[in-house]
Amino acid sequence: MSFLNQIFSTPLGYVISLCYQIFNNYGIAIIVFTFLIKIILLPISIWIHKNSIKMVKIQPEINLIKAKFFGDNDKIAYEQSNLYKREKYNPLASILPLFIQIILLIAVIHVIYHPLNYLLHLESPLINGLINQTVDLTNIDPNISSIQLTVVEAVKNSAFYDAFFSLETQFANIDMDQTLNNINSIKLNIFGLNLSWIPITKKGFLFIVPIIAGFFAWFLSYVQNKVNVLQSEQGKLNKYSTMFLSVGLSLYLGLFVPVGVALYWITSNIFAILQLLILNKLINPNKFVDYKALEASKIKLGELQKLQRTKKRFKSDPNKKREKSDYKRFFSIANKHLVFYSEGNGYYKYFKNLIEELLYRSNVVIHYVTNDPNDQIFEIALRKPQIKPYFIGMKRLITLMMRMDADVLVMTTPDLENFHIKRSYVKKDIEYIYIPHSPGGSYSKTLRKGALDHFDTIFLTGPQAKREIRELEKVYELPQKKLVEFGFPLLEDMVKNYETSERKINKKNIILIAPSWHDGNIMESCIEPILEKLTTGEYKIIVRPHPQYIRSNEEKVKELQNKFSFLSKDTLVFETDFSSSSSIYESDIIITDWSGIGYEFCYSTLRPGVFINTKRKIMNPEYYKVDLESLEDRIRNRIGIELELDDIGSIEKQVRDLIQNASKFQDIIKDVRNNELFYFGYSAQKGAEYLINSLISRSKN
């Protein structure tokens, strides 16, 4: 601010002081000062006006460049830059008026706030003495911006004259009587308004000031939009955004700063209107701009832009229109008792058995919201009219969830309230139910802290889940949730599919390598040494990376495939199509890390696995607060073997031993499965019973 004072406020202060000496009225001095500033800046205004005309003059060429190189933004920018150089057009000129206005406004505000400095040119020690005396007399805050204006008002109060005159003892070389008379003679009134008053504090009739300021700001913008050669060619968004900004600033100045500042701003806008009209007469844009050529170029470019928009609309409208229609249809239905939410097509399998049980046992209508326009639920709903599917994209889902009006909402997505999915703002008593999508995994390790805190009910896979959730509630002093002993229906389907699938007689034992996708998984830490040990020709190896890993590391997967491309398909296969689970059922053994697929394989086939102790998937940094042995730690060495990274060299021997002794694991794995999963064989029935009873209970209430 001191820099601005030196560069702008000081010279402007002398100009205002000169105007005040001539007219002996601060308000008139501000008006004349504003006029003089317009005169001083007239050469710049003329240059800006001519530059604007030049821009509109070359606009047809710009439009034709955009049409000629349509879609090639780099080429357009290059040609446009050359055109600017040829015409000596400066695109920065359009922002110069705003920059000048801001600088002037800051300087003028400073000048108006400090009449003792800039009108009377008093020394700083004397000004400080006058301020201190005013503070003592009025208890005013010395740090307010308008303190000097308050000093002027105080000096004008005859009751305070003696107190101010007593400062003569501190400033013996100053004629205090003359100084006070000079301050007292400052005329701050114009049109019946005191220029030191601030409308927001004085209120009353002073509210006319921001109204007048806002009106002239609007009128200036209106005139500019109509007759300013450049602004009249801008789009509605640019025109009206500038208008709203100008009016908003004017209302602020009119309300929160002294009337003197508002007077400057109003006067400046009035003179700007007059200046624009005069410049348009003297330098008429119509003499320089070929408006017919401009219109023709607009039409030519507009046709291409319209075609582009049509193509985009043609490609995206089916889903956009469908989403909008489904969103509207969802909220047009009253009494939506039960809603399922799915992130995509691959999540239906976690709901499948539960939904089928609900359809079999009740006539409840199931509203199924999915983020995937190609979700299989739409085809299923054609055969099962009790299911009402809706495609809602992720952005619109946020609003849908906030407006949710169902009785019960079932989802596999954790972190309710922690990220984009929130509980309903409309209906506060919705029962939010979480269904897990893995038979293993630790709630305290593999989910984020607080991932389940905002659910009302948790469907449990087994006793371990129950213990962990109760312990989390205890550690974080949370209210107890409803815990429903449920199980994992998907696994029951896998068992049925395995038991009914045809057994192929394979010449070689098949080893399935199925890692997780988190940091440090098998693909990141040890896949190459494993393959080097096992691709001897004795086994057929199927590498099935996690889909998420492939999406994030496509190049790495390709590099690995290329490195081992010399091996025949009878020895090594990379499986990247996940539409079938046949490789899971055909394999004799699985090698995995901390992926849930290991438990699914062992539980469904009753065959053992090799569980490599790679870096663990820890999502909750406070997992240690739950002092329970996790399910993984307890069962991995029962349904197979654990192998440290340092022992990868022995993996061939470990695999051979497991395959030879696979039959010994069948009863052990079955026992673990039955003990660690609730209601194996009829878990979906238990889940459906709970949902039906919950809906009945809510209907009674």
Per-residue pLDDT tens over the stretch 543-595: 999 888 888 888 999 999 999 999 999 999 999 876 667 788 889 999 999 99
Indicate if 483 and 495 belong to the same structural domain. Answer: no
Over residues 331-338, the mean pLDDT reads 93
**What's the total number of domains in the chain?**
3
Indicate if 541 and 664 belong to the same structural domain. Answer: yes
CATH code of 653's domain: 3.40.50.2000
Over residues 115-136, the mean pLDDT reads 86
Over residues 461-476, the mean pLDDT reads 95
Over residues 261-272, the mean pLDDT reads 88
In a domain, 202, yes or no: no
d(Cα 276, Cα 44) in Å, to the nearest integer?
A: 13
**Token couple for 374:** 């190609």
Do 481 and 511 form a contact (C-beta atoms < 8 A)? no
Q: Which helix (H) or strand (E) holds 141?
A: none
pLDDT in tens, 341-393: 999 888 999 999 999 999 999 999 999 999 999 999 999 999 999 999 999 98
Do 79 and 69 form a contact (C-beta atoms < 8 A)? yes
Confidence at 2, pLDDT banded by 50, 70, 90: low
Q: Which pLDDT value is given to residue 568?
A: 92
- Average pLDDT over the chain reads 86
Do 262 and 213 form a contact (C-beta atoms < 8 A)? yes
Indicate if 479 and 505 belong to the same structural domain. Answer: no
- Report whether pLDDT(428) > 80: yes
Expressed as residue numbers, the domain containing 82 is: 2-189
Q: Which pLDDT value is given to residue 585?
A: 86
Indicate if 502 and 605 belong to the same structural domain. Answer: yes
Q: Order of strands, edge to edge, in the sheet holding 509-513?
A: 572-574, 539-543, 509-513, 589-592, 609-612, 640-643
Q: Which helix (H) or strand (E) holds 341?
A: strand 338-342
Indicate if 517 and 588 belong to the same structural domain. Answer: yes
Indicate if 73 and 13 belong to the same structural domain. Answer: yes
Indicate if 507 and 404 belong to the same structural domain. Answer: no
DSSP H helices in 612-665: 631-635, 651-660
Residue type, 693: N
- Report whether pLDDT(265) > 80: yes
Indicate if 540 and 611 belong to the same structural domain. Answer: yes
In terms of pLDDT, which residue wins out, 601 or 97? 601
Over residues 314-334, the mean pLDDT reads 83
Indicate if 472 and 406 belong to the same structural domain. Answer: yes
In a domain, 212, yes or no: no
For residue 456, the SS3 value is coil
Given 473, 488, 503, the domain boundary residue is: 488
Confidence at 79, pLDDT banded by 50, 70, 90: confident
Do 220 and 246 form a contact (C-beta atoms < 8 A)? yes
In a domain, 209, yes or no: no
Pick from 389, 310, 381: nearest CA to 344: 389
In a domain, 429, yes or no: yes
Given 139, 159, 189, the domain boundary residue is: 189
Residue corresponding to tokens 């590391």: 553
In a domain, 692, yes or no: no
For residue 166, the SS3 value is helix
Indicate if 545 and 476 belong to the same structural domain. Answer: no
Indicate if 459 and 500 belong to the same structural domain. Answer: no
Listed range (223-232, 241-250, 391-400) with the worst mean pLDDT = 223-232
Confidence at 610, pLDDT banded by 50, 70, 90: very high
Do 616 and 444 form a contact (C-beta atoms < 8 A)? no
CATH code of 349's domain: 3.40.50.11720
d(Cα 183, Cα 149) in Å, to the nearest integer?
A: 10
- Report whether pLDDT(227) > 80: no
CB atoms within 10 A of CB 171: 15
3-state helix, strand, coil in the chain (%, to 5): 60, 10, 30
Q: Which helix (H) or strand (E) holds 485?
A: strand 482-485
Given 462, 488, 514, the domain boundary residue is: 488
In a domain, 244, yes or no: no
In a domain, 413, yes or no: yes
In a domain, 286, yes or no: no
Q: Which pLDDT value is given to residue 311?
A: 46
Confidence at 314, pLDDT banded by 50, 70, 90: very low
Q: Which pLDDT value is given to residue 33?
A: 86
Contacts of residue 527, defined as CB under 8 A and 6 or more positions apart, other chains included, come to: 513, 515, 543, 560
Q: How many residues does the chain have?
A: 701
- Report whether pLDDT(72) > 80: no
